[in-house]
Every structure is written in structure tokens, then in C-alpha cells.
Amino acid sequence: MKKPIMVALAGNPNSGKTTLFNNITGSRQHVGNYPGVTVEKKEGTCRHGERELKVVDLPGTYSLTAYSVEELVARNSIIDEKPDVVIDVVDASNLERNLYLGVQLLELGVPVVFAFNMSDVAKSRGLDFDLDTLALLLGAPIIPTVGNKNIGMRELLDAAVRVADAGQPVDALEINYGTDIERAIAAVRQQVQHHTDFVNDAEARWTAVKLLENDPEVAKQFFAPEVLETVGAEQARIEKLLGDTAEMIIADRRYGFISGVCRQAVRSTVEARRTRSDRIDEIVIHRFWGLPIFLGLMYLVFWLTFTVGTPPMDWIEGFFGWLGEFVGGWWPEGSESLLKSLLVDGIIGGVGGVLVFLPNILLLFLAIAVLEDSGYMARAAFMMDRLMNKIGLHGKSFIPMLTGFGCSIPGIMATRTLESRRDRLTTMLVLPLMSCGARLPIYALIIPAFFPEAWHAPMLWIIYMIGIVLAIVCAKLLRSTIFKGESVPFVMELPPYRVPTLKSVLIHMWERGGVYLKKAGTLILAISVLLWVMTSFPKPKDVDPNLSAEDQQAAELSYSIAGRIGHAMEPLIKPMGFDWRIGTAMIGAFAAKEVFVAQMGIVYSVGEADEESEPLRDKLRANYSPLAGFCIMLFMLISAPCMATIAVTKRESNSWKWALFQLVGLTLLAYGVTLVVYQVGSALGIGA
């Protein structure tokens, strides 16, 4: 039996590579992470005839010169793992730009099959390809495909199997870079071969070219000073002789090769005309209409997330309520049992607290997947790029920050789209300042308790704006200090508009939702059980039997570990206008922000407390001033996000250092801002 064929899918972002991967592997795929980095690794299998194919979907990349983590992972996978065949997915409607990666693969001597994807779009734009001539000039088979219609998949796999069975090595493409560059390549290659061992000359030539292009990852491999000295001398000679850097000249010659190939084998059957995407963009990214359209679409996204998501949330909440009563019914009515409390309050309550938000998460990801796959999200980033640049970030940072208004966890996960690690870390560290949905129950409790109805909407707007302003200030501060450095340039590419396929949208939605459920769910469940222990032990020995059940519950909480921590915190939090009761509730809010409301209900002996509880609001009005109420919202907005967010920050940054920096930094910022607001407000008699 023949061994399985290892297939790597490479290609530019927005070339339709993921759609082809889903078509080829279907449900036989799984997602993990590449070792040591947070870049997703998608792998799948399929059978084609009698052959088994193992398919790896590499991160999208424009070039084999690695400037981002994704580009480095893609290149290392091709070089180190040596797949049997690389399928380079090319956007046929943007051929010259997309062939840049393919030409580099051919220079490396990799066995390549080109998938000319979106060939229907290319045809609609009047492009006609002489595929036989193209294949001859490039030295690799070319298969036209239409990924979203599943066209060309069989022919593509046929070609991949043929190329894989032909075996390696493959004759590498050698582009003539001109006399002066070729002389430099020869000099560097001689030094490379002298100081290292290479399998073939093609790899040595490719390494020499990369060194002349100032590829940082390739340069790290060479400790012999003679190699780098030769590179530096040749670069200086070329720049002096030709008036430009070797990197720019090599890129120009490579594009010149591609242009020559296309000139011979690509014809335009119609005169140049505006495409449908151009006509849509005249409205969608218009200087005046673009922003209102964007705001309208974002309102629609949040309406879908929180309005359409309400019925399934109620169903899940009702199910776990019924499950808690059912399990609690195993014990006699009125009886107390630690096991009962653990099962009902700790485990069932913890799992329910996670799953109740799953409809919101899935709907949010569904909407984002539709906007991304349609090509609109790239336009949103394009419109916000100028504003984001002023705070030291790219337009792409705007999308994760926007997502953070729904939930910080998917927002932090969305920072994977950012090329620069500096931008990625800055964005994920300040992102919790975007007020997430879990804080809404706190605002819904506090605002009606302390402010007249006419101020309800303005107060909510103010608290959201404070978060946005603080995020901007903190991002600017981080980029000016800890993450100081020049921004990495990137292409703000505007892909053509497409109608998203149902299969692609659902896969994207479930991949992201599944990560939330698995990672955040297990953590919150563990914290919920821990919180149950802290609020249940130790038990007071003597409790007045004449007290009501709710008063007994409050007395037990005060005596518990959480209550004692609250009392211990009181001297520290009193300058912010808080007492031990608020401190106790804040412990629960550290696990999940929305727990604050329920904890305040327990402290004040208000059964089944939620954000619409009038008895709890009456208790708050009787014990705190409007200024203290505002400071509660302010502290809950700025302070450390839930434990799940901290864990995801650790996972995405691949370091506990940044997760703890976020935890401590935001908590100290919250304390400082809230302290100043309360003290200044008290001195001025505001809200007293």
C-alpha cells in the first residue's frame, strides 16, 4: 500500500485557500496550534481514488520573506517538513500579485501545483489564460478552480498526486536577476556552501538570494562572520553601482519575470472597465457615507447578537434552572448538603454561567464571518486605518477592539490577524477596556438605582466612552514606551466582494465558538467551584435561628473566606467609596463580571437578585451615594477582566508575563482612576 501524500496548501490571504481546504477535507479536519506560537494549524485528510492525502492549510502569506509569525510558520513548514506537493492557491483575477509567492516556491525547488482559484471572477473581468503556455513557462501544472462552487477539485487532486508521485527533487526555477545581482548571488552562495551543508544547489542559491534580501530569519542561521561580511559587501556594491538596495532590485526583477510570463500567456478579452467591487466601494468607503454605513452594520451585528440571541439564552438558562431543581430534588426538602450545594450552586451554576452566553458568541462570530468572507471587514479596517495610526496601531487592530464590545475573549483571539507582535500585544492588553457584554448587568443594576430616567442613556454612553478613551490613551502610551518601535508596513488589501458560502461561514463560526466553549468554559467552571468553596467555608458555629433564610445566608457569607477577604480589603477600597460588601462581590466579579450582581444580592439578603431587582436597588440607594454608584461602574469597567480573559491573553501572547501585566496593570489603573474620581467628586460635593 502506498504511503499517504503530504499536501501543503499555500497562498495569499483572501485567495480562497481556506475554502479549498474545506472542500478537500470536509469534516475530516482538526485545528490546533503550531508548537511554540499561537498561529492556528489546520490539518485534514481525504481519500482520492486509492490514495490518502494529509492536507495542511498553511497561514496566508504574500512572500517567503518572513515579516510576521504567520509568514514564518508557513515558510518553515515548507522548508523543514518538505511536503510531497505544495498547492499554491492563486487569485486568478489578481494574477501578477499572487504569483509572487508561487515564483519564490519554484525558486526553492518545491514541487508545486497552481490552483488558479476564482477563475470565474477572472473570466468576468475579461481575462483569458493560455494555461498550457503558462504551465510551460512556470514549469508547474495549473488547474483552474472555483472554490465556492467546488469546481476543479478532482482535477486539482489528480495533478497533486501526479506531482507527488514524480518525487523530489524538482528542477528549481532560476530567474536571471541581471549581471550585477547574479555576481552577488554567486559570491554569497560560495560562502554559504563553504560554511554549511545543503542538500542541493537550488537551496544554496535560494539562501543566498534571501540573505541579499535581508531576510532576518535566514540571517540567524549563519554565525560565520565571513558569510555576513560577504553579504554586506555585495549589498553595498550593488547599492553604490545601481542606486538602489539589492532587496528592491531583486523584487523588481522577480515582478519583471512575472510580468513577462503574463504578457505572453494572459489576454484581456474586453477593454478595461470598473469592476463591481469598485462600484460598491464608491458608496461603502465614501468619505461621507462610509462611516454611517459602517455604524449601521455594526448596530445590526450587535442587534443580532443580543436581540436574536435572547430566546436561546432564555432556553439555556431555563434548562439549567430546571436541571438544578431536578438535582436538588434528590435531597429532602429543606435539607442542607455540601454535595447538593456543590452540584447545584458550583458545577451546574458554573456550567450554566458559561453556556448561557454561547448563543451570543456564536451569533457574533456568525456576523463577523459573513462580513469577513464578503470582503467588507477589510474595508472597515481601511476606513479606520488613519485614526488607528495616530495611536500607533494599524487599521486591522480596530476589528478585535470592536469585537471586544461583545466579549473580550473572541476579541483577543482576533488579534491573530495582526502582522506585528507589537501591535498584537498592545491591542490585546488594552482590549478589555472595551466594555464587554458581561458588564451590562452591572450597568443595568446601578444606573436606574442612582440616576433619573432621563440620564439612563447618557450615563451608559459616558461609561462606554470612558473605556474607549482610556484604551486609546493606554495604547498610545504602550506604543511610546514598552512597545516602542516603527510600525511594520503592510498591504491594506481590499479583496473583491463575494457572496459568502454557508459552509465556510458555519465552519468559521463553529471553530471560534468551539474554542470559546472549550477554553473559557473549563476555566470558568473551575473558578465557579473555587468561588463556591470561598463563599461556603468556613461555616459559622452559631447562627441566630430566628433570622430569615436570606439573613442567615448573608451572615454565613460574611463569615466565609470571601467575606473575610472583603473585610480585609475594606481599608484599601474605602477611599474609592466601597465597603466590605462591595469588596466581597468584587471577588466573584474576578471570575466573571456578571457574578457581581448576584453576589450583591447575597450580601444584602435579596433572593434571586438580577439586574432588574428593585429590592436590591433600594438597598443600594440606602447605603451608597450616586457618586459611589458611578465609581462601582468605573472600577468594574477598568479593572482586570474575568479570569477567562486573562487565560486567553496568556494563550495568545504565549507568556504569563503579559497576562499578569494585564491583570495587575488594569487593576492598578482602575484603582487610581476610581480613587481620584471619588475623592475629587466628594471634595466638590458631586453626587454625594
Q: What is the CATH number of the domain that holds 41?
A: 3.40.50.300
Distances (CA, A) of 310 to 161, 299, 361: 49, 16, 12
Residues in the chain, total: 688
Question: How far is Cα 104 from Cα 66, in angstroms, rounded to an integer?
Answer: 12
Q: What is the CA radius of gyration of the chain?
A: 30
Residue 272: per-residue pLDDT: 40
Task: Identify the DSSP state of 455.
Answer: G
Task: Classify burial at 209, counting beta carbons within 10 Å of its beta carbon; exposed 0-12, middle 13-18, buried 19 or more.
Answer: buried
Q: Is the pLDDT of residue 147 over 60?
A: yes
Question: How far is Cα 576 from Cα 167, in angstroms, rounded to an integer?
Answer: 71
User: Which amino acid is present at 178?
Assistant: G
Percent pLDDT > 90 in the chain is 24
User: Using one digit for the tens of pLDDT, what is the confidence trace for 227-270?
Assistant: 889 999 999 988 887 778 899 889 888 887 887 788 778 876 54
Specify whether 196 is located in the same domain as 119: no
Residue at grid coordinates 459611589: 628
Beta bridge partners of 91: 117
DSSP class per residue in 606-623: -TT--TT-HHHHHHHHHH
User: Among the three residues 229, 247, 268, which one is the final residue of a domain in this structure?
Assistant: 268
Contacts of residue 131, Cβ cutoff 8 Å, sequence gap at least 6: 116, 142, 144, 265
Does the residue 212 lie in any domain?
yes
Residue 103: per-residue pLDDT: 93
Distances (CA, A) of 331 to 60, 102, 320: 57, 68, 18
Q: In this predicted structure, which of 330-334, 491-495, 509-513, 566-570 has the lowest mean pLDDT?
A: 491-495
Q: Is the pLDDT of residue 278 over 90?
A: no
Q: Are the beta carbons of 609 and 558 closer than 8 angstroms? A: no
Q: In this predicted structure, which of 155-164, 314-323, 630-639 has the lowest mean pLDDT?
A: 314-323
Which three three-digit cell numbers place residue 519?
477554553
User: Which amino acid is present at 538?
Assistant: P
Specify whether 121 is located in the same domain as 200: no
- Residue 318 CA to its chain's centroid (Å): 32
Q: What is the mean pLDDT of residues 322-331?
A: 81
Q: In the chain, what is the straight-line distance between the N-terminal and C-terminal CA atoms, in Å?
A: 82
Specify whether 238 is located in the same domain as 135: no
Specify whether 541 is located in the same domain as 660: yes
Q: Are the beta carbons of 349 and 529 closer than 8 angstroms? A: no
Residue 230: per-residue pLDDT: 92
For the beta carbon of residue 656, count every other beta carbon within 10 angstroms: 13
Specify whether 233 is located in the same domain as 158: no
Does the residue 570 lie in any domain?
yes
Residue 226: per-residue pLDDT: 85
Q: In this predicted structure, which of 33-42, 58-67, 505-514 has the lowest mean pLDDT?
A: 33-42
169 falls in which pLDDT band (50, 70, 90)?
Answer: low
Specify whether 183 is located in the same domain as 157: no
Beta bridge partners of 9: 57, 87
Q: What is the mean pLDDT of residues 679-686?
A: 90
Q: What's the CATH number where 257 sits?
A: 1.10.287.1770
Task: Identify the DSSP state of 9.
Answer: E
Question: How far is Cα 395 from Cα 385, in angstroms, rounded to an integer?
Answer: 4
Helix (H) or strand (E) holding 458: helix 456-480
Q: What is the mean pLDDT of residues 281-310?
A: 78
Domain count, the chain: 3
DSSP class per residue in 394-439: -GGGHHHHHHTTT-HHHHHHGGGG-S-HHHHHHHHHHGGGS--GGG
Question: How far is Cα 24 from Cα 38, in angstroms, rounded to an integer?
Answer: 25
Question: How far is Cα 33 from Cα 315, in angstroms, rounded to an integer?
Answer: 34
Which three three-digit cell numbers place residue 641?
477582566
Sign of CA dihedral 396, 398, 403, 408: positive
Specify whether 158 is located in the same domain as 215: no
Question: How far is Cα 36 from Cα 108, in angstroms, rounded to an integer?
Answer: 25
Q: Is the pLDDT of residue 344 over 90?
A: no
Question: How far is Cα 123 from Cα 100, in angstroms, rounded to an integer?
Answer: 21
Does the residue 378 lie in any domain?
no
Which three three-digit cell numbers place residue 35?
508548537
User: Using one digit for the tens of pLDDT, what is the confidence trace for 47-96?
Assistant: 988 899 999 999 888 888 867 777 888 888 888 888 999 999 999 988 88
Q: Is the pLDDT of residue 223 over 70?
A: no
Helix (H) or strand (E) holding 21: helix 17-25
Task: Classify burial at 520, counting beta carbons within 10 Å of its beta carbon; exposed 0-12, middle 13-18, buried 19 or more.
Answer: buried
Specify whether 126 is located in the same domain as 12: yes
User: Among the three residues 268, 295, 330, which one is the final residue of a domain in this structure?
Assistant: 268
Residue at grid coordinates 466590605: 580
Specify whether 653 is located in the same domain as 546: yes
User: Among the three residues 247, 268, 289, which one is the final residue of a domain in this structure?
Assistant: 268
Full-model pTM: 0.58
Residue at grid coordinates 500585544: 425
Q: What residue numbers bound the domain in which 574 lies?
A: 524-684
Specify whether 565 is located in the same domain as 655: yes
Q: Is the pLDDT of residue 412 over 60?
A: yes
| Greater model confidence, 521 or 535 | 535
Phi, psi values for residue 270, rounded to 5°:
-135, 165
* 43 three-class SS: strand
Q: Are the beta carbons of 487 and 475 closer than 8 angstroms? A: no
Q: What is the mean pLDDT of the chain?
A: 82
* 57 three-class SS: strand
Task: Classify burial at 650, counting beta carbons within 10 Å of its beta carbon; exposed 0-12, middle 13-18, buried 19 or more.
Answer: middle
Specify whether 11 is located in the same domain as 113: yes
Does the residue 115 lie in any domain?
yes
Which three three-digit cell numbers place residue 135?
504551465
Pairing relationship of beta strands 142-144 and 112-117 according to DSSP bridges: parallel
Does the residue 566 lie in any domain?
yes
Sign of CA dihedral 140, 143, 145, 147: negative
Specify whether 150 is located in the same domain as 184: no
Does the residue 119 lie in any domain?
yes
Residue 527: per-residue pLDDT: 63
Does the residue 207 lie in any domain?
yes
* 142 three-class SS: strand
Which three three-digit cell numbers place residue 396?
486591522
